[in-house]
Structure 1
């Protein structure tokens, strides 16, 4: 990407961990619940609910729930090599890809969200909202893996605050 646009964005972060541990954090319900979600359910194309420690497969569907947000995100796993790449549908019409690459004593995580609609509502809610959200959640992942702490709010209930997702930095 040589220019910025509203139909996509990229976020990168170095994390001092192994590719295997980082992929576990993205590729299993147990892993993604450890730093990101309150609940993740992955279902095979045959409608079999995957075990929390089982790695996701292409064409699995998911239902995700967050701390401090009453909604659910539903989508599917579009691609995975079960090693250092995963891609999933997100925010109805978008796609998110996560690539992991060893760089000296750290792993470079590159997250790209794309196919974002460019109407005014999507520019605000998806481009700005998700871009800000992923910035926080990737920092949370780094804090979790490198220091064993979580930065997201789990003590105070923010669900009754209408603009909480836009105002709180640790939603």
Structure 2
């Protein structure tokens, strides 16, 4: 990406951990629920629910539910190589996660792309997801490096109309 556009964005963060640990955080229901989601269910192409500790596979379907939000996200695992790359359909677009070793840390690169460019998508997907992923990547770093979670679980924010746009730790 050579310039900023509304159809994609990239977020990067160095995290002091192994690629294996970080892939577990993204590529298993158990891992992704440890720092990001309330629940994550993955179903294989054969219709079998994956065990929470089992790596997701290309072709799997998923249902994600967050803390403090009554909605859910459903989509497909498009690519999953079991070590350093995942790609998912997500929010009418695609998200990829790439893990690259750098000296004492792993560079986590999240790209969200093929975002529709109508006004609603610019606000909800580009702006909303870009802000959201910034927080969640910082939350992942805090969890992995310091064993703390920054997301709000104590206070119920679901009845605050603009909570997802106003609270930084939603």
Residue segments in structure 2 that go unaligned for 5+ positions in a row: none
TM-score (norm 1): 0.99
Between the aligned partners of 2:110 and 2:27, the Cα distance in structure 1 is 14
Aligned runs of 1:48-63 on 2, under 5 Å?
A: 48-63=48-63
- Corresponding residue number in structure 2 for 1:124: 123
Tell me the CA shift for residue 160 of structure 1: 0.4
Aligned runs of 1:28-43 on 2, under 5 Å?
A: 28-43=28-43
Residue segments in structure 1 that go unaligned for 5+ positions in a row: none
| Corresponding residue SS for 1:107 | strand
Q: What's the Cα RMSD here?
A: 0.3
| Corresponding residue SS for 1:130 | helix
- Corresponding residue number in structure 2 for 1:17: 17
- Deviation string 1:10-66 (CA, Å, 9 cap, x unpaired) is 000000000000000000000000000000000001110000000000000000000
- Corresponding residue number in structure 2 for 1:99: 98
- Corresponding residue number in structure 2 for 1:165: 164
Aligned runs of 1:63-142 on 2, under 5 Å?
A: 63-91=63-91, 93-142=92-141
- Deviation string 1:58-92 (CA, Å, 9 cap, x unpaired) is 0000000000000000001000111000000000x
- Corresponding residue number in structure 2 for 1:3: 3
Tell me the CA shift for residue 132 of structure 1: 0.1
| Corresponding residue SS for 2:155 | coil
Deviating 4+ runs (over 3 angstroms): none
| Corresponding residue SS for 1:71 | coil
